[in-house]
Amino acid sequence: MKVKIFRWRAVGPLLVLFVIAGILWWLFADTIARRESQEVGTQILGAQVEIQKLHLDLRHGKVLIGGLTIASPHEAFKNLVQADELVADIDVVPLTEKKLIINRIAANGLRFGTPRTTDGRVAAQSGDGIAGRVLAETREWASQFQIPVLQLAAGKVSTDSVDPRRLSAIPAATALGARADSSHRAWQAAFDSLRLGPTLDSASAALERLRHARATDLAALNEARQAIDRLKRARDRVTSLERNVTQGATILKSGLAGLESARQRDYAFARSLLKLPSLDAPAIGAAVFGPSAIRPFEQVLYYTQLARRYMPPGLLPRASTGPSRVRRAGETVRFPKQRALPAFLVRSAELSFLLQPTSEQPRRYAGRLTGLTSDPALYGRPTAFQASGPQLAAGAMLDHVRAIPVDTAGATLGGITLPAFDVPGVPLKLDPGAATTQLGFTLNGDTIRARFAVRSTNVRWTRDSGFTNSAIGGLIWQAVSGISNLDVEARLSGALQHPDLAVRSNLDQAIASRLRAVLGEQVAAAEQQQRDRVDALINDKVGPVRARVNEVQNQAQAQIAQQRARLDDLQKQLEQRLRELTRIRLP
Amino acid sequence: MFTLIKLVQSLFGALHSEGTEGQLAAGIVLGSFLGLTPLVNLHNAVIFAALVLLNVSFAGGMLGWALFVPIGFLLDPLFDWIGHQLLLAASLRGLWTSFYNTPIVPLTNFNNTVVLGSFVFALLFAVPLFFLTRWAVVRYRVTVGERVKRSKFYRALTASKAYNVYKMFRP
C-alpha cells in the first residue's frame, strides 16, 4: 500500500490556526511589546521600567510610548526619568533580522528625579544580570573612599584601652634582662678563670721575703722579678677582661637606649589609639563633604560602565543573558558583522524636558542624542548627547569606536535647589539653597579624571536640639552659621581601581581653626594620659631591668678595678723594694 | 487530570491507530523537537506545521511533545553547554555571523545557547529515537496490542469525545 506523504485535509485547519494566531498577535501585539519592553528595559538598567501605553504601527514604522517611568537604580523611592510621550520612527525591514533601528525619537515631557511610591531598584536588590554586577562593582569602588566620621559635635577625645601584649618595650626589657644575666655569668666565669688569687699570694710572699732580703740574696731577687712578671701577665689578662666587660657594657647600654626607643614607639602606638577629631582642614573637607561628593561620581560611573558592557568596542561575538522564560535562559550571543546594521541603533533623539516640574515655573530644556548603538564599531561614530537651556549646559560623549573606550561627560546646572543634607559627624543640617553644580567626568580606558563642584551664595544652616549642650558644637555652629557662601569641590584622578580623592571647601578652614583652638588642650591631655598608661604598664618591667643592667655593669667594673689596683699595688711595692736593693732602675 | 486523560488517549490512540509504525515513530520524533527545545520559537512553528501537514501520527507528535518536555527541562544545562561550545567555536564564527545577519534566521533565536543546544541535540537524537520507537511499536502490536484493544478500559477510552477530535488527525 502506498502511503501518502502530505495530509492535505489538514491544510485548512492549519491555515485557520495561523490566522487565529495572527489575529491574536494583532490584538495583543501592543501588550506583548509593552511587557517585553518593560522587561528588557528593567533588565538593562537594573531599575523598574514601566510603560503605561505602547502602540505599534508597523505599517508606518512608528512606535508610540505613553507614560514611561524609569526608576532610579540608586534611590529607593525616586524615578530616574519620566516621559509623557515618546514617538519613535523605526526601520521595519531590519526587524526581520531582529535589529531595532530607530531613525528618530521625539521625547516630550521628560521629568527627572520625581518621587515614586514603590522601590524601583531591581539590580540593587537581586544583584542579578549585567546591571546587578555593575552596580555591585561601582558600590565596592565607592566604598574605598569611606571616610571615618568625625566626632566634631561631641568634641570627645576617646581612647581604646592599651593592650600590654602589643607594647614593644615589655618584650625588649625581658630580653635585655636575660642578656644582662648572661653577661654577668660570662664575666664572672672569665674573672674566675683569671686565677688572680695564687698570683697575688705568691707576689705577696715574694714581697715579704724581699723586705728581709739583702742585695746579695739573688734567689729572693729573682723570685721578686718572676713575681713581677706574673703580675704583669695577670694585669694583661685583667685588661683583656676589662675590654670585654666594656664592650658588653656598651651593648647593654645600647639595649637600655633601645628600651627608650621601644617606649617611644609604645607612646606612638598608644597615641594612635586616640580617636581624635582631625585638625587638618583638607581632612575635615573630605569628612564633611566626601560622602556627598562620591555619590555623583558613583552614579556616573555606573552608567558609564553599563554603557561599556552594552556598547563594547570591536566586532567580536558578545554573549549576554538570554530572555527570561520558564526554561533556562542560557546566553544569547550576538555576531556583529562589518558593513551590516547594528543590533540596536538610535540615530537621533530629540528630547524636550522639564526641570523642577513641581515648581511654579518649571523650566523647559531641549536636548539631542545621536548614535546610541549596541555596536559602535559598526556605526563608526561615538554616541553624543547635548542639552541646553536656562542655566544649563550639558554634554556627553561615549566613544567606543576604537579599542580603548573614552567616555566623557560634563554638565553645569544653575539655579537648582539642592536638597538639604546632614553634615556627617555634626548635628548640623546644611541647606545649599539654589546652587550651581558642575560635573566633569572622563574615563579614558581605565584612567579616571572627574570633578564635582557645588557653589551657592544662599546657604542656610540649622542645628539639632542636642547640639546646644556641646561646647564644640557651639563653636562649630559659631564658625559656620555666619557663612552664607558654599564652595565645595571634589576631584578624583588616577587609575580607576584606586583613584585619589581630594575634597575641599571654604568651610574647612573655618571648622579646622575652631577645632584646633579648642581641642588642642584636650588632645595634649589625652596624649599625656596615654603616655602614663604606657609607663604604668612598662615601668614594672623596664625599671628592674635597667637596675639589673647597671648593677651587673658596675659590679664587673668594680671587681676588675679592685683586682687591678691590688695587682698594681703589689707590682709597685715589689719594684720599689727591688730598686732599693739593687739601686738599678728596672726597664 | 484532563491533560493526563488526553495523554493516555493519545498514547493508546496512536498505538492502535491504522497508521504504520514508521508514521507513529516520525510523529514522536517531531513531537520530541517541541518538547526538547524551548517552545516559543520560530522553528517550532515549522515543526508543528510539519506535524500537521505531513502524513505522520499527530497523536504520536503530541505524545512525543508531552514525554520530552520534562526531559527538556532536565537536560537544559547540557543544552546550554552544547550551545555554548557551538556558538563560541572560532571555526563556526563565520557561519553564525552570516546566519545572524540574514533576514528571518535571527528570529529563530538560534544564537541562544539553550535553543541551539537543544535543537542540535534533538536533531542528533531524532534518528535513534525514530528506530527505537518504531521497534517498540512493532513489539507492542505483536505482543499485548490485541489484548489491550479488546479490554474495557480501551473501549471506554476510545468512546470519549476527545477521541473524536483526535480521529480528525489520525493517519
Does the CB of A340 have a partner CB in chain B at under 8 Å?
Answer: yes
Chain B residues within 8 A of A329 when measuring between CB atoms: 114
Nine-digit cell string for A61? 514604522
Are B52 and A332 a contacting pair at CB < 8 A?
Answer: no
Interface test with A, best of B53, B62, B82 (most A CBs within 10 A): B53
- Among A446, A316, A322, smallest CA distance to A375 is for A316
**Chain B positions touching chain A (beta carbons under 8 Å):** 20, 23, 38, 40, 49, 52-55, 72-73, 76-77, 79-80, 83-84, 87-88, 93, 96-107, 109, 111-115, 117, 168-169, 171
Interface test with B, best of A9, A16, A95, A97 (most B CBs within 10 A): A97
What is the least distance, in Å, from the CA of B25 to any CA of chain A?
14
What is the least distance, in Å, from the CA of B159 to any CA of chain A?
23
Percent of chain B scoring above 70 in pLDDT? 85
- Among B6, B83, B104, smallest CA distance to B37 is for B83
By C-alpha distance, the chain A residue nearest B99 is A335
Are A328 and B72 a contacting pair at CB < 8 A?
Answer: no
- Its ipTM equals 0.82
Residue A153's pLDDT is what? 47
Chain A residues within 8 A of B168 when measuring between CB atoms: 13
The sign of the CA dihedral B21, B27, B30, B32 is: negative
Does the CB of A319 have a partner CB in chain B at under 8 Å?
Answer: yes
Are A330 and B53 a contacting pair at CB < 8 A?
Answer: no
Distance from C-alpha of B123 to C-alpha of B61, rounded to nearest angstrom = 15
Are A334 and B76 a contacting pair at CB < 8 A?
Answer: no
Residue A350, H or E segment: strand A344-355
Are A335 and B96 a contacting pair at CB < 8 A?
Answer: yes
Chain B residues within 8 A of A315 when measuring between CB atoms: none
Interface test with A, best of B114, B116, B134, B167 (most A CBs within 10 A): B114
- pLDDT tens for chain A, 587 residues long, are 566 788 888 889 889 998 999 999 889 999 999 999 999 899 888 999 999 999 999 889 999 999 999 999 988 899 999 999 999 999 999 999 999 999 999 988 888 888 899 998 987 777 778 889 999 999 889 888 756 555 554 555 566 677 888 888 888 888 999 999 999 999 888 888 888 888 888 888 888 888 888 777 888 888 888 888 988 888 888 888 889 888 888 898 898 888 888 888 888 888 777 766 555 666 677 777 777 788 889 999 999 999 999 999 988 888 888 888 889 999 999 999 888 899 999 999 998 887 666 666 777 788 999 999 999 999 999 999 999 888 889 999 999 999 999 999 999 988 777 778 777 666 778 888 888 999 999 999 999 999 999 898 888 888 776 555 566 666 677 777 777 888 889 999 999 988 888 888 887 777 777 666 666 677 777 778 888 888 888 888 888 888 988 898 888 889 888 888 988 898 888 888 888 887 654 45
Nine-digit cell string for A345? 541603533
Residue A354's pLDDT is what? 74
Are B112 and A4 a contacting pair at CB < 8 A?
Answer: no
Chain B residues within 8 A of A93 when measuring between CB atoms: 103
Report yes or no: A94 and A87 within 8 Å, Cβ to Cβ: no
How many domains in chain B?
1
What is the least distance, in Å, from the CA of A123 to any CA of chain B?
23
Chain A residues within 8 A of B107 when measuring between CB atoms: 96, 98
Amino acid at A324: S
Distance from C-alpha of A501 to C-alpha of A294, rounded to nearest angstrom = 9
Report yes or no: A114 and A79 within 8 Å, Cβ to Cβ: yes
Distance from C-alpha of A307 to C-alpha of A313, rounded to nearest angstrom = 11
Are B101 and A97 a contacting pair at CB < 8 A?
Answer: yes
Chain A residues within 8 A of B100 when measuring between CB atoms: 97, 334-335, 337
Distance from C-alpha of A439 to C-alpha of A411, rounded to nearest angstrom = 5
Collapsing DSSP to helix, strand or coil, A344 comes out as strand
Angle at B161 between CA B158 and CA B162, to 5 degrees: 80
Q: In this structure, which long-range contacts are made by residues A257-261, counting pairs with CB atoms below 8 Å and at least 24 apart in sequence?
A: A258/A172, A258/A176, A259/A169, A259/A172, A259/A173, A259/A176, A259/A542, A259/A545, A259/A546
Distance from C-alpha of B67 to C-alpha of B117, rounded to nearest angstrom = 19
Chain A residues within 8 A of B26 when measuring between CB atoms: none
By C-alpha distance, the chain B residue nearest A21 is B45
Does the CB of A583 have a partner CB in chain B at under 8 Å?
Answer: no
A159 CB burial (10 A radius; 0-12, 13-18, 19+): middle
Residue A52, H or E segment: strand A49-57
Nine-digit cell string for B160? 470519549
Distance from C-alpha of A289 to C-alpha of A418, rounded to nearest angstrom = 14
- Tell me the average pLDDT across B139-162: 76
Residue B47 structural domain: 2-168
Confidence of residue B110 (pLDDT cuts 50, 70, 90): very high
Instruction: Pinpoint the alpha helices (H) of chain B.
Output: 2-15, 21-36, 42-53, 58-87, 93-100, 113-142, 145-150, 152-159, 161-168
Across the interface, of B20, B103, B113, the residue whose CB is closest to A331 is B113
Q: Convert A47-72 to b/e letters by CB count within 10 Å (16 or more is b).
A: bbbbbeebebeeeebebebeebbbbb
User: How many CB pairs lie under 8 A apart between chains A and B?
Assistant: 102
Are B76 and A6 a contacting pair at CB < 8 A?
Answer: no
Does the CB of A322 have a partner CB in chain B at under 8 Å?
Answer: yes
By C-alpha distance, the chain A residue nearest B170 is A7
What is the least distance, in Å, from the CA of B56 to any CA of chain A?
8
The DSSP string of A388-439 is EETTEEEEEEEE-SSSS-EEEEEEEEEEEEPPPEEETTTTEEEE--EEEEEE
pTM above 0.90, yes or no: no
Report yes or no: A301 and A446 within 8 Å, Cβ to Cβ: no
Does the CB of A330 have a partner CB in chain B at under 8 Å?
Answer: yes
Distance from C-alpha of A71 to C-alpha of A120, rounded to nearest angstrom = 5
Are B55 and A6 a contacting pair at CB < 8 A?
Answer: yes
Which of A357-361, B6-10, B97-101 is modeled with the greatest confidence? B97-101
